[in-house]
Amino acid sequence: ACGNTGYRGRIGIFELMMIDEPLRREILNNSAAQTIQRVAQQQGMRLLREDGARQVVAGVTSVEEVLAATQAAEV
């Protein structure tokens, strides 16, 4: 049963960073975490909340659930 939430079970939201040459250079240069994240996003990495938003649009989960699950990731 869904507990009257409209949702049942669990889904995953994912953040996957593929290490390509531009990203590898930033890592080897000991760049700041913000720089590495920016380069990763430029290379196509989708953040947890972005993947969560995709799941919301698909009707799989709610905005509230995504925000609750990703709160620690934004700190």
59 located within any domain: yes
32 lies in a domain?
A: yes
Return the SS3 of 71: coil
Question: Within a domain: residue 8?
Answer: no
Q: What is the pLDDT of residues 21-70, one digit of tens each?
A: 999 999 999 999 999 999 999 999 999 999 999 999 999 999 999 999 88
- With bands split at pLDDT 50, 70 and 90, how would you rate the model's confidence at 2? low
- Domain span including residue 28: 21-74
The answer, yes or no, to whether residue 75 has pLDDT greater than 50, is no
Does residue 14 carry a pLDDT above 60? yes
Number of domains in the chain: 1
Measured in residues, the chain has a length of 75
Residue 16 lies in a domain: no
